[in-house]
Chains A and B, each alone.
Chain A
Amino acid sequence: MTTHAATAQAAHLGEQGMSRGMFGMVLFIASEIMLFGGLFAGYFYMRNQAASWPPEGVHEVDPVTGGILTAILVISGLSAHMGVVGAKAGNQGLFIFGLAGALLLGTIFIGGQIYEWFLLMDHGLTAESGVYGSSFYVLTGFHGAHVIVGLAMLLVVFIRGFWRDFTPKRHLFVDASVLYWHFVDIVWVFLYAALYVLV
């Protein structure tokens, strides 16, 4: 019977198009966007039906603290980007510097957020403080969990890169992880706008 000249002994049968790993990450991020989309929709639904926002008598979150957190995360994103540039150029120094910076700032962000949570709880804003508190803690908590996942990925990138596991041609895992990190950053910017700034 008719068969193609090429046999299928090679590991990949007719691979085509975008790199497989990156494509998977893009789809994963798309599904994550829907996750946060649903949460945001819920937030605005409740906000819209409220008589006033923030509802009377609750302790408001502080845009300055949130702003500092935002700045930290955005700089961390820039730093991670430097790491990718380093990996692409084969510049190990830049790669290590960029990723170490991103990891450090990301960790500071998580620490800062936990600190802020405790501070707010001291002022009486808890998850039980009506929908204002509910949505603040659930949204930032969801996001925080994603930051931790992102940090774990960056840590793996860092360790593998430290042992020179990537080359200017093979650095898919760096790209995919940093793309995820950017996603986590961007979600935070929207969260900051919705939870801290928008009046």
Chain B
Amino acid sequence: MATGAIARPAHEAKEYTGLLAWLLTTDHKKIGIMYLIFTIIFFFTGGVLALLVRLQLAWSDAGILSQDQYNQFFTMHASTMLFLFVIPVGAGFANYLLPLMIGAKDMAYPRINALSLWLIPLAALVMFSSFFIEGGSAAAGWTEYPPLTNGTFMPGKGTDLWILGVQILGISSVGGAINFLVTTMTMRAPGMTLARMPIFVWMIVVTSVLVTFATPVLAGVLTMLFTDRNVGTSFFDPREGGNPILWQQLFWFYSHPAVYIMVLPAMGIISEVLPVFSRKPLFGYKAVIYAGAAIGVLGFTVWMHHMFATGLSAPLTIWTMFATMSIGVPTGVKMFNWLGTMWGGSISLKAPMLFAVGFLFMFLIGGIDGVYSAFVPVDYALNDTYWVVSHIHYVLFGGSVFGIFAGIFYWFPKMTGKFLNETLGKLQFWLMLIGMNLTFMPMHILGLKGMPRRIADYEAGLGWEYWNLVATIGAFTIGVSMMVFIANFFMSLKTAPKTAGDDPWEGNTLEWMISSPPPEQNFDTLPEINSERPAWDARMQRQGFAGRTQQHS
């Protein structure tokens, strides 16, 4: 259905072909796909750095990396994963899907959209170029705390290039976020009321609000660090009346909301996948939206839980502790919604569903870890140990990355008309699941045994060797799972037949009502939208069921 070509106005008629059609495009679908390709390449780049880091830590005195290399690699691993992969990959999915899901032709500002895309490889060039200059890349961890990052301790230009790269990515993010918000608010198809928008769209809305309001604060504080290093200002220099804690305040004011920027899109993805593969509507549609919004708002109040050990005043400490724990509540609500969706459903464990279920279990562990560290006395002991590294990875790898793969397997047929191979997908899932637990579960133990994070080597005999080796084996298992994905991706793209059709999974949302891949202008004719599951409604009608889907909320 709905594939007929449309005569386009003359000024749009000039067509590029081949590579140029991609480089010069302002089509949200092409831009979305390029976002995904770039960010997944960065995911693998960050992954290689992680494997090198794990190799160095596999044994005491492993001697694989020098200390300088180690510091650069773990710093660039995290920076790449956070700023070049997890944050922009969400924008990539949103670019491809958001206009389709709300029945729009494109994004509100297509050219700004193209700019947001191309700033990403530019930023990557800036950041990675630092490996080839004297002094190497940034090396103080992705949090770049002064005084370690002042001109005395980090004299190389790597830190400056890092600042520049992150600034460029910030501009890209804010441009994207404003674009998503304006598109959602002004370009919805008739009948697509706010209360009928897919949860994925809602989560992108919350994410975009966070990006719009938090990212500029990072831009400000990065500039202060830059001028401290290059112009002689003294914002973070106590000798001149500055204070390094100021960096932490402003950095975490951004970076705590940023962790939700990193996970809310993945939550949106699994909120689409779980109902489809449970053959039930999402349990508590409105509750999921309100919980998402609550997480967004609360997310702005708790940044100081990263700073308990700096000696905050008692009222601030206690406030932050309770506010942080209270974020567990909306997060728990969502958990119940997802489980309730699966409850009693006829579940089909296809690859997208496996990854979505993997998200639920792994994210749960990460959330529990988080609440532990939010307990101030506990945090005093666990702060800056491997416990925190474990928490980070259960939420970001177990959460975001599993959600992202759920999305890739779910929408690949829409983007290409072909399925990814199901067997290889399952193999990848199990390798990833086993690998991540082998890698990150032992880090709990290492943390409790007092192993600090961000050390290049450790002495034998502290009881850390065994679990470090296990973690490294786990990391390489994840590496293997990624090789399976790469093989699957290229094989399916090349050899799989175009069998997906418009609606391979019997989906709920508008994108499943047009061809795969969708025509250039998305919708020739707009489908009727009477609920938050227009594709389901239409299928029911086709199959002769009288009446519409019951409203549930």
Contacts and interface: CB of A to CB of B under 8 A. Distances in A.
Interface string A21-37: 00110011011101111
Interface in A1-53: 1-4, 6-9, 11-18, 20, 23-24, 27-28, 30-32, 34-39, 41-42, 45-46, 49-50
Contacts of A7: 524-526
Interface residues of B, number: 60
A32 B220 CA distance: 10
A124 to B, nearest CB: 14
Contacts of B105: 8, 11-13
A180 interface: no
Contacts of A11: 9, 105
Contact of B528 (A4, A20, A50): A4
A130 B189 CA distance: 56
Nearest to A45: B246
A14 B243 contact: no
Given A3-B526, A137-B233, A35 B220 contact: yes
B541 A38 contact: no
Contacts of B311: none
Given A41-B250, A134-B235, A3 B187 contact: no
A11 B187 CA distance: 11
B1 interface: yes
A183 B174 CA distance: 18
A56 to B, nearest CB: 11
B241 A4 contact: no
Nearest to B250: A38
B526 A31 contact: no
B119 to A, nearest CB: 16
> How large, as a class, is the contact surface on chain A?
35 or more
Contact of A27 (B212, B214, B215, B224): B212
A45 B250 CA distance: 11
A122 interface: no
Contacts of B219: 35, 38
Given A20-B108, A55-B241, A6 B526 contact: yes
A110 interface: no
Contact of B523 (A13, A31, A49): A13
A131 interface: yes
Nearest to B186: A20
Interface string B215-235: 111011101100110011111
B231 to A, nearest CB: 5
Contacts of B6: 9
Contact of B192 (A6, A14, A17, A55): A14
A4 B249 contact: no
Contacts of B214: 34
Contacts of B231: 127-128, 137
B240 A130 contact: yes
10 contacts: A1-B538, A3-B528, A13-B526, A23-B181, A24-B108, A31-B216, A34-B216, A35-B220, A36-B220, A138-B224
- CB-based closest 4 A-B pairs: A134-B233, A35-B216, A38-B217, A128-B232
